[in-house]
Amino acid sequence: MLPLQIQKRLASPGKLENEFLNYLRKANAPIDQSKTIAYNVLYDTKETTGESTVDLFTGSFNQALTNIEGSYIRPASEHFLIYGIRGYYQENIAIPLTNNALPMNRGFTNLLNFNETNQQPYANSQLSIQVNSVRLNKYLPLTEFDNTETAGNRGTMYLDQPILWQGQTELKATIETNDPSIVFPGSASDDVGSFIRLDLFGLALI
């Protein structure tokens, strides 16, 4: 039995691609006809050690911690329609292992991910997303990433309303605790710290 999504694609070839292009046209996003439509995942990783707020997909760029090439500001013709977000954390390591040598833990508060019962500070943190300074999602609890026990979807949140990240615009994903006195594990004086990674799932014009 083919997955439902594949069945729909076979029944209506090109429909999803046309809908994506129509979405871009209505958003007045420039379309380069030489580009290809593809499913894509963009990720970024940031250290959170001792912090109560961290911004991803913006700020200091480290190619080793993201699969976005060269800069967070992508070419003008490369647009990305985000329909899902997956979150991960790592604690007590010297560097974030994004190469799966030691897989990051999916989700933030699910007890399946924790050896300890204390889920602070992740259970008291939230996510906000803005594009070009327009806030599109505000204070989404990180507990939303753990609302399923299904292994394949653990740590994943699908959006009710997709987010369009146009080329040549800035996207900022802010994770912050709900109290500045609550900070993420580790300290500047230690050799180990904590890290958060976000994966953005979407349709891309690349």
Chain segment 186-203, per-residue pLDDT in tens: 766 666 678 899 999 999
pLDDT tens sequence across 27-62? 999 999 899 999 999 999 998 888 999 999 999 999
On average, the pLDDT of the chain sits at 84
Is 165 a domain residue? yes
Contact 205, 88 (CB under 8 A): no
Is 175 a domain residue? yes
- Across the range 67-72, mean pLDDT stands at 95
DSSP codes of every residue in 151-189: GGGTTEEEEEEEEEE-TT--EEEEEEESSTT---SB-TT
Number of structural domains, the chain?
Answer: 1
Is 85 a domain residue? yes
DSSP symbol at 30: -
CA-wise closest residue to 49 among 188, 167, 202 = 188
Residue 113 has pLDDT above 60, yes or no: no
CA-wise closest residue to 143 among 129, 161, 124 = 124
Residue 101 has a pLDDT of 47
Is 24 a domain residue? no
DSSP symbol at 112: G
Residue 22 has pLDDT above 80, yes or no: yes
Strand partners, 152: none
Joined tokens for residue 164: 């369009």
Is 51 a domain residue? yes
Band (pLDDT 50/70/90 cuts) for residue 66 is very high
- Across the range 55-82, mean pLDDT stands at 94
Is 11 a domain residue? no
Residue 79 has pLDDT above 80, yes or no: yes
Is 2 a domain residue? no
Q: Find the domain containing 76 and state its range.
A: 32-205
Is 25 a domain residue? no
Residue 194 has a pLDDT of 82
pTM (2 d.p.): 0.87
- Across the range 163-172, mean pLDDT stands at 96
